[in-house]
Structure 1
């Protein structure tokens, strides 16, 4: 028997970007072919998409981990790696996505609505793309970026036209079974349904869905019983129908008191989304009262006694029997009419347009703060420095020199000097910690060396920052050559 799952925790991982390729073109009679390493492919994204054929989150309950494919590495002859395939996860209409802290990220309503849950990593540049006037034949390439890993909470709110509410054993599941082709579990002893039952009802030219929402008892809005777990399934219902057991033998219960108790819970419940689907609060939804089990003589008398009082509240009242099917035809027509009125006032939800938020290409923001764990150390925080460190092959001196040039152009070295960083200070960027050497001549003209090497890395007689500053001021005529000491 299929299980109804309406809340799951999903662990997703986007694909990793492929590494760039470091290659030199080799061809007969072309000794200086130049770099021809291609870029790595982009990692696949993880996308959530609303599918009308999916009605539960059961698949994610048994398979809570999902990962998109990685991009492949670039190749020689300027061949880029292939992109990873996007992983599209089908979710039911009415799925709400929350992060691990409980913040609502998106509400997926409408067939075809998509949400990019995790973005794939960008592929690393090959040495052909890294070639410049200073580096005509780079002996390194950039590594691909890791894909985004996230933990999401998916909650399902059933998208039904009519929601049946009532005490346990009021006959809600029986009513769904006789109005539609649904076959919920029904018993002749007191019990409560543990999962919402949905059925499709046809009345003339109108077709609508009916949901039996269980768990409503006094105190449900405060979490008693199953109330909070299933009250959210009423948030998108256009019509709320009170199903009242007129044949109950429990002392202190009657149709009026049952309805008043449930109305108090509906008024106290606060939806997670303040304006969910523009339906407003549950207390403002159209109501209909269904007095059930009138096939019992005592129940029929009780239903007749309370009908007048309920009509004074402005609610339509129908006396029916789910067993003998008495009164079902006028009830079906009335529900269809109320649903049609709602649909005319509220157009059907359509797939929402994707929101594109481009990242500024010239974003150079970064900060330098003291390291609380390492005395005299500093931490450099910023999207670009952290990304550059992840892209660097630290076993390649030329790649390390390229990273130093990028950080120097960004202003990281000057910022460290202003913070009072001393030579040999531990500087952490991302997950990498290294000893800072302020006298490293980053950004200057490169000395021609072998591929994959950088003469500045092994240089021992480096010119200090103070000497470079003094020489610059001498060239500008601001100081004399003798004032070096």
Structure 2
């Protein structure tokens, strides 16, 4: 089985690290059996972060290992010692990587060295009982659990960051041309589809330096999946200009420079997004006598169509200087017309005063509560601890969930579900319930051991 060395599209499964649990601890000192809570907070889970590395040109690492996870936070400890944060996981990606959802929604376009994007945030650490202490709850017998990290499945798609793209039929001489004008050394042979992966070279013409991309050859129907080029058409989307490389020495029947150009233009139009890109035409292989005659014959027709035409030979380097300077001119024009990137601005949009923190809906024989805060509080709760459950009920009551349920007609004994189907927690609605903090009857959130102290 062949192992790919160039991969420009992968599906990546990522998960942020889980936050560490808070600690329940009571300070023990001589003659002070109940010295007060001193449980530390749990550590934050590590995030998964994508970051551009200019030294990478492929996503092959994630083809072999598509599941990645940030480090988990450590649990808090007594004596007010917080747990260590989980390590962030930095995933290096090539310049020009686009991050999408499985539904093709673009989440981020990573262009530029050092550009980064948090793809899966780590979970918050749970508070220890020292942080939960208050005037009403002076010695909490519980702590909050750490939150799980975000889990996502995304698609990474690489689009080469090049200034000029070479397009043409297989064996038109694109790889030979890029090898002749740059230090790129693509595989070159005299059979179709020699180029199986895009090649990138750096060209200097005068005081202008630009990147030149050579993608696998296109054929008629490429935009619909024929041949190899359809897989790589997206690598041309960032190019400032396109250069048609036309084989004037082909021996294939039914082929000529004008029809080749028409076929490639039709495929670019079918793919879409290239209408505003200036074009050059390189009539290649004019070192062959018959090819030079054909180039002279079609040159005027191409110029009449509005193309800048250059007769070149990748083998003898004839005409390459003029072609590269023409490419550099188009690149300079595009760069001058492109406004500089604006500085990043953080826009703060405060939540409206009357905006709800949660919603309550009736679903058949149950009530469903949705909202970021209620669902987060449920994840933080240790349901094996009665006092922790009472604390959750107290928080939900202060938020107004109980009052909303009563207003909508909920009755004692009704099932109340908090969260979505996969992570839901079910309660029996009882608005008069009292917490049982360490088996001591009392109002929610109180501790009778400390009354009168």
TM-score (norm 2): 0.89
Once the two structures are overlaid, the 10-residue window that deviates more, 220-229 or 393-402, is 220-229
The partner residue of 2:306 within 311, 314, 332 is 314
Q: Equivalents in 2 of 1:334, 1:185: separation in Å?
A: 26
Distance 1:107 1:211 in 2: 19
Contact 1:161 1:208 in 2 (8 A): yes
2:261 to 238, 259, 262: 259
CA distance in 2: counterparts of 1:226 and 1:127, whole angstroms:
61
- Post-superposition Cα deviations, 1:161-206, rounded to whole Å, max 9, x if no partner, equal 1100001111111112222222212212233522111112233433
Aligned twin of 1:434: 427
1:232-247 alignment runs, 5 A limit: 232-247=234-249
C-alpha displacement at 1:319, in angstroms? Answer: 1.3
Partner of 2:153: 151
* In structure 2, C-alpha distance between the alignment counterparts of 1:62 and 1:356, rounded to whole Å: 39
Matched, 1:335 2:324: no
* Alpha-carbon distance in structure 2 between the residues aligned to 1:452 and 1:211: 70
Whether the 8 Å contact between 1:397 and 1:454 is mirrored in structure 2 is no
Distance 1:348 1:52 in 2: 21
Paired positions, count: 437
Partner of 1:62: 64
Q: Choose the corresponding residue for 1:126, options 121, 125, 128.
A: 128
Q: Does 1:324 align with 2:316?
A: yes
The 1:355–1:225 alpha-carbon spacing in structure 2 relative to 1, beyond 3 Å, is farther
Q: For the Cα contact (< 8 Å) 1:401–1:456, is it kept in 2? A: no
Distance 1:64 1:359 in 2: 37
The aligned counterpart of 1:96 is 98
1:290 is paired with a residue of what secondary structure?
A: strand
Asked if residue 394 in structure 1 is aligned to residue 396 in structure 2, the reply is no
Counterpart-to-counterpart distance in 2, 1:61 and 1:287: 35
Quick check: 2:193–2:216 contact (8 Å CA) kept in 1?
no
2:359 and 2:369 in contact (8 A); partners too: yes
The 1-side partners of 2:172 and 2:15 are apart by 45
1:337-385: CA deviation from partner (whole Å, max 9, x where unpaired): 33233333336769x737576885987522222344xxx3222211111
Distance 1:361 1:55, change over 3 A: farther
Moved more, 423-432 or 296-305: 423-432
Q: 1:397: Cα distance to partner?
A: 0.8
The equivalent residue for 1:141 is: 143
Q: 1:250 is matched with which residue?
A: 252
Pairing partner for 2:39 from 17, 37, 40: 37
Q: Counterparts in 2 of 1:27-426, with a 5 A limit? A: 27-191=29-193, 193-270=195-272, 281-346=273-338, 353=344, 355=346, 364-372=356-364, 376-426=365-415
Q: Quote the offset at 1:457 in angstroms.
A: 9.9
The CA distance in 2 between the partners of 1:239 and 1:247, in whole Å, is 25
SS class of match (1:282): coil
Q: Unpaired runs of 5+ in structure 2?
A: 445-453
Q: Deviations over 1:379-412 (max 9, x none)?
A: 2211111111111111111111111111111222
User: Which whole-Å deviations, capped at 9, do the CAs of 1:120-171 have from their partners, x for residues lacking one?
Assistant: 1111111111112221100000000000000010111101111000011111
**Cα distance between partner residues in 2 of 1:10 and 1:356:** 30
For 1:454 and 1:397, the matched residues in 2 are separated by: 10
**Contact map agreement 1:71 1:81 (CA 8 A) in 2:** yes
Q: Distance in 2 between matches of 1:354 and 1:10?
A: 29
